[in-house]
Amino acid sequence: MDHRKNPICDICGEVQDCFKRLKVLKVKGEKTYMCKSCYRDKRHNHRNVTKREFVPIIIEEKKEKKKKEYIPKRYKKKTNREVVQESEAPIKIKGAKIRKKPNKSYSYLTLQEKQMMYNNLKRKGMSHEEADEQVKEFCKALRQTKI
């Protein structure tokens, strides 16, 4: 049907004065010509339908998105890896002091000190073997005592 020559509303069938009075609605390439009142009604209904059915869904989706995306600033800096490591660490008790392991620093004699001790013992009249043994024993005893 040629709407230019015969301006008829496709919905209510009312003949219009002029082609320009008709509104055109394109849906998937198919044109439907409507008079002003039909067009207004259709738009109105469509808007009501979208308001009733689609708007609440859209609002809920937006809310859920916001909930998922919201992370407090203090947690944002930590990466997932750091959080895992923290959980594996020993639990801190409030007010308790964690003792550090004492550094293993044993007292020892330098070579010169050993020689001095050896010479002193020899001067007192000890033999070579006795003096050597005594120095070694003294060093052993020193190694066992912690500072």
Angstrom distance (rounded) from CA 108 to CA 138:
10
Q: Please identify, among the stretches 6-14, 46-54, 61-69, 101-109, the one whose residues bind Zn ion according to the rule CB under 5 A.
A: 6-14
CB of 28 to Zn ion, least distance (A): 21
Whether the Cβ atoms of residue 138 and residue 117 lie closer than 8 Å to each other: yes
Q: What is the largest CA-CA distance in the chain?
A: 142
> Whole-number minimum distance, CB 17 to Zn ion, in Å?
13
CB of 14 to Zn ion, least distance (A): 5
CB closer to Zn ion, 8 vs 139: 8
Distance CA(129)–CA(114), nearest Å, equals 14
Q: Is there binding between residue 38 and Zn ion (CB under 5 A)?
A: yes
For helices 128-144 and 111-123, the axis angle rounded to 10 degrees is 130
Per CB under 5 A, 22 contacts Zn ion: no
Binding site for Zn ion (CB under 5 A): 9, 11-12, 35, 38
